[in-house]
Structure 1
């Protein structure tokens, strides 16, 4: 067996007509939204591949941040493409955060939201949502657990317009 970046390939070529197999290491089967603590009690949330002009609901759990307390709300000035729709205590501790994300452009994108404490005005946590966004015409990504498509924005096509122009 040859192993390359978590993928194992057989060294022997398959017999004629036999199917070939690629084996993935178990750690690659982890298909959930990843939440990573950063410096100063901030968090990076990696949501995987998304498509442009699609609206997604993203749900993730943040570990408990004692400074925030139990009553937490989003900052009043949200990102234009990312908005928090719900924050509830998670059954296993911490916070369950539900947000809506509109993927507008292709590339590796990072949107930020702030969570504020309703009891401690000095406490806040920055959450960066990191997504790899591909063009809407380049296939369908396998969405991570915790991410679901909730809508598609219509694409304007000037060839379908019935406007005749100026005479």
Structure 2
């Protein structure tokens, strides 16, 4: 066996391969966890400089109509909501900007239109992969809307100190 064959075989050993059964058994749903008036929404892995549309359902007692402050959060915006068919919660659509690497937590508060004392704090959790660190498999209900090329950290006009 030649040295080039050995190198090629060694390189192929470092790739990760998953069998179809392993991929299907991976939890691909958005995890929603409740505690008092807080709803933790775990989005999984996302990629930096992307805007995602996230659709998920929560159980709540806020009534049919809800309100929210559109200026509360720069990186997470509630774009659409509708009550569930059973009237026990809401289907929410949020645009989420993965603006930096590592763990991101963004907070949005939704309130009942009928009873201002009723509210839910939505805490969106995501692990954001940096440039060149891979492409994550998105969970069900998450779709990439836009790649933010203007925010590319490798490109700069700054020439440094003279």
Any stretches of 5+ residues in structure 1 without a counterpart? 1-19
Q: Which runs of 5+ in 2 are unaligned?
A: 1-17
Whole-Å Cα distance in 1 between the matches of residues 19 and 128 of structure 2? Answer: 29
1:110 & 1:81 partners in 2: Cα distance? 10
- The structural deviation recorded for 1:84 is 0.4
The structure with the greater share of residues assigned to helix is 2
For residues 98 and 21 of structure 1, do their structure 2 counterparts lie closer, same or farther at Cα, with a shift above 3 Å needed? closer
Residue 134 (structure 2) aligned to one of 135, 139, 146: 139
Match of 1:33?
30
- 1:51 equivalenced with 2:47 (yes/no): yes
Shift of 1:29: 2.7
User: Which string of whole-angstrom CA distances, capped at 9 and with x for unpartnered residues, describes residues 105-153 of structure 1?
Assistant: 1111110100011111111110100000010221110000010100011
Over the aligned positions, Cα root-mean-square deviation in angstroms equals: 2.4
Task: Figure out how many residues of one structure are paired with residues of the other and give that number.
Answer: 138
Q: Which residue of 2 aligns with 1:80?
A: 74
The one-character-per-residue Cα deviations of 1:74-121 (angstroms, maximum 9, x if unpaired) are: 234321111100110123541000000111111111101000111111
For residue 42 of structure 1, the aligned residue among 38, 41, 48 is 38
SS class of match (1:122): coil
**C-alpha deviation, 1:60, in angstroms:** 0.5
